Structure 1
Amino acid sequence: MSTIVGKRKRKSEHPYLTGNFAPVTDTFQSTPCSYIGSIPSELLGGQYVRNGGNPVSNSDLGRDAHWFDGDGMLAGVLFKRSSSGSNRVTPHFVNQYILTDVCLSSFENTNLRTPILPSIATLVSPIASLIVILIRIFRSIFLVLLSHLPGSQQAIKRISVANTGIIYHDGRALATCESGPPMRVRLPGLETVGWYDGKQAEGEEVLSQGTDEQDARFGGKGVLSFMKEWTTGHPKVDPCTGEMLLFHCTFVAPYVHYSVIPRERKPGTPLPNLLNAPVPGCSGGKMMHDFGVSRNNTVILDLPLTLTPFNLLRNHPVVCFEPNSPARFGVFPRRQPEKVKWFETDGCCIFHTANTWDENDAHGNTAAVNLLTCRLTSASLVFSAGNLTPPPHPHRKEVVTKRPRMSFFAKYDLDDDIDNTEKLGELEPLLSEQRHAKVAYDATPPCKDPPISSDDEEQCRLYYYRFSLDSPIPTVTHQYALSSIPFEFPTLNPAVDMSAAKYIYGCSTSHESFGAALGKATKIDVLVKMDVLTLLTRAQNRRPEPVTGCVDTRSISQIFSSAEDQDPIKAFRMPDGWYAQEARFVSRDKPESEDDGYLLFYAFNEAQLNRFGECPEGAVSELWIIDAKNMQDIIARISLPQRVPYGLHGNWFTEDQIRLQRPVELTRTMPVDKPKTLWSKIKGTMIAASG
């Protein structure tokens, strides 16, 4: 276990390098876990896996750091059947680094004190000087070049850390990140196989050579082909056709390329691959994290959050938010990006879409495309997640807060008008005596609070757009929030993805204002279920104000206090001191309704933190399973052998998906110790000097 001595003085005040944000150093092979409650039969043989950043080089705790940084690490729980083949199950925990080029080079070069790649915090900082940014970039280039010299075990050919998400497509589990192509991993052991290029993954049996078209890969050919390999962290897989859809964002025109990869393992003749097709009309290099996909159409998000080294020529950070620029949405038929129509409206930031679906006319033609997103009114989260002071919102209003400002690491109680009785049905004992445990802080603050904003203009809400395809001029006919409460990390029943799903689940905070709790979306103490179709129906009867309007204006306190059985918004509140992570929906085998299933997520009790807000040796996390229908009952709590740091996105893999994985010939392995040579000593000295 990674050990932090409880009585020593803190070395860092960076909130993303301490507490349960701090990385772990141990990995576990399949390890049995104890649990309380009952494991649903639907989970037998399947595995829940979550991705997130876990920096290998982390000895310099005073460095720049961002929550989106870090080498990818997968943490999974396999619901392993008993050897007798009965319905008895024992959960097994496994966690492994994703052995990217960068990760392997970091393990090989133990003299590194900071990660090889510059932190996003450096690139986004408005006060970082041009010389500092260039020094960090040239350091990375220097370390990459060193890795290609003789004596290196791993040359860095791709700079992705694969730390964002994990999906399943056509017999492959793929870890994702927008700085490179997907990386294939093998379930359930989470071993790294190799980079996936749109045709096959390294480590698989080599395919016979075919025509140039058959040999097409991500990036294509040419000097800039490496940039066109950069793939969104959120590829989409159509639950009906099995197609995987991706986009590739670069710094040079046409800025966005687009790929559709059919499922080969399907009866009949699959559609051909569509690789690296340009999407015309994008306004520049952007920090483009997600996109929308319906059954027939795709939506590209061209938002005013630029990401390009050319910003330095304008004396702007590499990552720069331009609030007075518009938000643009490119809508086109799934396999025809050249027919894109661009819709323009008020500027915003969107990191995650919740669902996209088509609206057809009487003739079966698409009349409009609907998009649900987690819409932010500013880029403050990008700054706060890097421990940077966010710039003021362009429409900032000084407001009197109803309660003291809260930070990521503050302990708090809910408003007095909330009934603190947890509604857990028959499974109340699952919370045991730790239910109301408080974080064990003394008068000494555990660490510096991340910069936050108390401005009500700072919002992150589940938001609805409707793009009319019938209008002669591209028109956004509807745009408003469904609820006023904070909402991020959305999920839904995957069977209804890309269609008019009734329910969307997401993460929230018990704090009234997202602005005053920026980062609470990463320190999650509330899970929310929204009946979006009911809320949209209400909006038809009383249309909210465009852009700024909201269908349900209740606070989270009022939602908790609601006794309405058919309330379109239901919320599950974590016990005091406990925090959740992004949840994933798993359906029952024979569901009676769309929401008949379970939510799986990792949970951590911050009562384990020591007086400095750090995780001592022995701190552990749990995997919780709750009823997704009533949003009250805790079905089971699984005790893990170590903690799982607050991370990003996970997924559920069925027993059949694990069984039907494509065969693998070779997996990546950790570097081995070799005898020191004169060159290796010189190289080590240069690496140590670089920091």
Structure 2
Amino acid sequence: MFEPVAPSTGKRKRATSQTIGLTPQPRHPYLTGNFAPIHQTLPLTPCTYTGTIPRELANGEYVRNGSNPVSNEDLGRDAHWFDGDGMLSGVSFPENPETGEIEPEFVNQYVLTDLYLSAVSSPRLRVPILPSIATLVNPVASTIYVMLRILRTVVLVILSFLPGSKQPIKKISVANTHIVYHDGRALATCESGPPMRIQLPGLETVGWYNGAYAENEKSEKELEEDKARAVEKQVEKEKVLGQDGGVIAFMREWTTAHPKVDPVTGEMMMFHASFAPPYVQYSILPQQAPPTQISEDPEKAKLQERNRTKQKKMLNRAVSGVSGAKMMHDFGVSRTHTIIMDLPLSLDPMNQLKGLPPVAYDSSKPSRFGVFPRWHPENVTWFETDACCIFHTANTWDSHNNNTGAVSGVNMLACRLTSATMVFAAGNIAPPAERKPQTATATETKRSKRMPFFSKYDPDSEASLHDRTSHLENPSTSPDDETEAFLHLGRRQDTLDGDELDDYIWDEEQCRLYYYHFNRQTAQIDHQWALATIPFEFPSVRPDREMHAARYVYGCSTSTTNFGSALGKATKIDVLVKMDAQTLVARGVANPPRSVSACVDTRTMAQVLASSSSPSSSSSSSSSSSPGSPPPANEQEDKTIQAFRLPDGWFAQEPRFVPASSSPTSSSSSSSDEEDDGYLLFYAFHESPAQLDPHTGSCPPDSDPLRRAKSELWILNAKDMSTVVARVFLPQRVPYGLHGSWFGAEMVRGQRGLEGVRRVGDRDEGDGEGDRGWWMGARRAVEGFLG
């Protein structure tokens, strides 16, 4: 229920009768419904299911990370989808030793970061310790306001080191973005700090990982012995992330949320972006696999052993040529090269001196891609093209000279946005006007401005500036408009025809899967265009085909003309997509699209859905075409794009691919016909009246096991993209979140040993009598004032 707003709080809507309470104000779209945080955590809890759980899942676990703010009392605060403490939600598939049956279990746990532990020990804090990303990107936020929010964080961090604190805040990461596996460790990630080790399958927090070891992996005695051994043998102590950073060493620990693990060598590549020159550093961590993790593939085993013997490591090596402090979320890595993206989206506190917010997008500047050999970031070649934003890459692979076999170029598939609208929409903020007009062909110029994935505004082009402001600030919003803020509304593409379809195809605002080919010999971008017109985000490929020419890319899309992320709404996924990327790339290379904004496949989502539901779609996509084949004359027979549309009212989260046991496992396999033999795992939620209040859009209390809303884990046949082979019924809902991974049985078994895990309340209250009395009273007063 909404709480009435007192008259002194500013503008509000008044009821028509004095006997009726104040009309409730709409909540932030990313703090309500199934976006709202859940504070109920469960240990491994048995689940029921329907269908047949594939044997390939036995003793493995699917885990997804996401934002879940523990301090959420102030629903009118600045808030952003990317804010909040990390919460891991997993489904484990243990095998019953007596019956051999797979018995799924659900578990969810907070990532016990310094920020989380400090927040739960300070109940007087009503909003998160860190300033919201919405505050940092808001173009109308005053410099004084932004600086005060940052100063509040600084004061709370300093306070955490003083007597009476249970947890000093040494790292400012919330570890809420992704979870990956490397060298016997599951690592929760976020680019504002180092990775955090997690123990599977219970999702306990082990400790921060510094590039050499994680907290609680070694006892204090072992650490002292290592130090003494290094002194005795006069050898250099193993380096850790940020070790040579001096006073800004904490910045050098900031690690991308999307590190890349080579499926052949086991090396993990990472970059570290910060505010200080050289702005981006680069690290490579080797695989030091214990015997239980040595691959059965002879070629892979040989490379693993060679790499393990060398134990070659590179930490915090500067990438030369980056133009400034940028918001960098992802990058590309092939078997031999790495691609850093220097895009015109800055993340720099010094922007305040220029009258700009700390996070600012400048469409007048180019997008720059730095390509360099894996072990030599100093030998970077920079490529420039039109301004854009890229938050996720799908895959990166090498091209070779047919005569010499040398690497001649690097290819990359990425989800390209033509503006930074998503950054603002996820904070319920109207984006600023572009600094220059969009360039387009004559045909494109006359098209209406409609955004298929991340909308700036509602489709009504006549809306006033007042109507385009945040629903949280618009006092004239009607009750019906309030409901729209909570519901996934929009016209489905199958209702469009004629010019409306053309408007959709040539949308000025795009979020599409793009192909880039960087020619290392000519230092030119030979190809850059979209594979398809349909919106596409949260991409992934089969794990053992990463860094190779993977044929299929899986991702998320929508069946509506705009993705529902206009102001007061929120991004939701009701279509999962599988693209035959290699076939579409081959078609584009053979007949290149005429411009950067053009596409290879110009079908709308309605046409793709119609093709996916045609009778022949039940057969394997790999049997309908081979890589590089021309498009069929009948678009109904074109299976290069397959889409799985969820039933009305159901919404999905990012899917992850799990190979079937019958499919090839070697990453060097040239067989693409069986590459899609496997399953997609994803969480699904039904926004029915039983699970969401139709008037407020709120879920029932999560603390009530009888009334609380519940999610499901769906297992989809990736080959036909239509058969849901099993549905696991979870004991509670899983809020719409970010990225996840599949951890096979060998990963769970192969985890490194540990001495303990982090726990709430492990830290001392203080030093005794001296911490009580006036000091604790003053401390409580400061926390209460800062809120």
TM-score by length of 2: 0.79
Letter matched to residue 466 of structure 1: H
2-side partners of 1:640 and 1:518: how far apart?
31
Q: How has the CA–CA distance of structure 1 residues 534 and 515 changed in structure 2, closer, same or farther, with 3 Å as cutoff? A: farther
Matched, 1:224 2:248: yes
Aligned to 2:122: 109
Supply the distance in 1 between the matched residues of 2:58 and 2:724 (Cα, whole angstroms).
18
- Structure 2 distance, partners of 1:339, 1:403, is 38
Q: How much does 1:594 deviate?
A: 0.3
1:615 to 699, 718, 734: 699
Cα distance in structure 2, aligned partners of 1:403 and 1:481: 16
Partners of 1:522 and 1:581 within 8 A in 2: no
Q: What is the Cα deviation at residue 590 of structure 1?
A: 1.6
Counterpart for residue 183 of structure 1: 196
TM superposition shift of 1:226: 1.0
What's the offset of the Cα at 1:671? Answer: 2.0
CA distance in 2, matches of 1:41, 1:622: 19
Q: What letter is aligned with 2:66?
A: G
Quick one: structure 1 residues 589 and 10, their matched pair in 2 at CA, closer, same or farther if it must change by over 3 Å?
farther
Once the two structures are superposed, what CA deviation does each residue of 1:553-582 show, in whole Å capped at 9, x if it has no partner? 110011111244551000000110110000
Matched pairs, number: 656
Q: Are the counterparts in 2 of residues 199 and 215 from structure 1 also a CA contact under 8 Å?
A: yes
Structure 1 residue 443: deviation in Å?
Answer: 5.0
Could you say which residue in structure 1 is the equivalent of 2:745?
A: 655
Measure how far apart 1:511 and its partner are: 1.8
Pairwise CA distance, 1:537: 1.6
State the SS of the aligned residue for 1:81: coil
- Alignment-mate amino acid for residue 478 of structure 1: H
Q: Decide which of 322, 336, 353 is 2:376's aligned counterpart.
A: 336
**Residue 421 (structure 1) aligns with:** none
The whole-number CA distance in structure 1 between the counterparts of 2:680 and 2:2 is 32
Q: State yes or no: 1:634 paired with 2:657.
A: no
Equivalent in the alignment of 2:539: 490
1:65 and 1:634 mapped to 2: Cα distance? 35
Q: How far 1:399 sits from its partner (Å)? A: 4.8
Greater helix percent: which structure? 2
Residue 235 (str. 1) matches residue 249 (str. 2): no
Change (3 A) 1:382 1:511: same
2:526 aligns with 477
**1:578 maps onto 2:650 in alignment:** yes
Residue of structure 1 aligned with 2:282, choices 258, 263, 271: 258
Return 490-499 or 588-597, whichever deviates more: 588-597
Q: Does 1:19 align with 2:33?
A: yes
What amino acid is aligned across from residue 325 of structure 2 in structure 1? G
What amino acid is the match of 1:569? Answer: I
Give the CA RMSD over aligned residues.
2.8
CA 1:20–1:253: 2 relative to 1, 3 Å: same
SS of the residue 2:778 aligns to: helix
Q: Which amino acid in structure 2 is aligned with residue 379 of structure 1?
A: A
Match of 2:783 in 1: 687
Contact persistence 2:396–2:548 (CA under 8 A): yes
Deviation at 1:80, TM superposition (A): 1.2
What SS does structure 2 have at the residue aligned with 1:600? strand
Residue 205 of structure 2 aligns with an amino acid whose one-letter code is T
Determine which structure has the larger strand proportion and give its number: 1
Q: Measure the CA separation in 1 of the matches of 2:727 and 2:569.
A: 23
More off after superposition, 63-72 vs 558-567 = 558-567
Look up the SS of the partner of 1:462 in the other structure.
strand
Aligned residue number for residue 446 of structure 1: 483
Instruction: State the partner residue of 2:318.
Output: 278
Q: Per the alignment, in what secondary structure is the counterpart of residue 147 of structure 2?
A: helix
2:464 corresponds to: none
Identity of counterpart residues, as a percentage? 55
Q: Following superposition of structure 1 onto structure 2, how do residues 244-643 of structure 1 map, counting pairs within 5 Å?
A: 244-265=268-289, 266-268=304-306, 269-361=309-401, 362-393=403-434, 394-395=436-437, 399-400=447-448, 445-446=482-483, 448=485, 456-471=507-522, 474-513=523-562, 522-562=571-611, 563=614, 564-591=636-663, 593-607=674-688, 608-610=691-693, 611-617=695-701, 618-643=708-733
- For residues 600 and 187 of structure 1, the distance between their equivalents in structure 2, rounded to whole angstroms, comes to 18
1:506, CA displacement in angstroms? 0.5
Rounded to whole Å, the distance in 2 between the matches of 1:251 and 1:542 is 42
Cα deviation for residue 686 of structure 1 reads 1.2
Amino acid at match of 2:692: L
CA distance in 1, matches of 2:644, 2:582: 20
Structure 2's unaligned 5+ residue stretches are: 4-20, 290-303, 439-444, 459-478, 491-502, 615-635, 665-673, 702-707
Structure 1 residues 4, 602: CA separation in 2 closer, same or farther (over 3 Å shift)? farther
Q: In the aligned structure 2, how far is the partner of 1:408 from the partner of 1:310?
A: 27
Equivalent residue of 2:341, what SS?
strand
CA distance, structure 1, for counterparts of residue 124 and residue 450 of structure 2: 50
Cα distance change on mapping 1:75 and 1:579 into 2, 3 Å: same
Deviation, 1:456, is 2.5
What's the secondary structure of 2:392's corresponding residue? strand
Structure 1 consecutive aligned stretches of length 4 or more whose deviation exceeds 6 Å: 401-410, 449-455, 515-521, 672-676
Question: Which letter maps to 1:315?
Answer: G
* CA offset digits 1:489-532 (Å, max 9, x no partner): 00110111000000000000112356986999941000000001
2 CA distance for matches of 1:186 and 1:523? 30
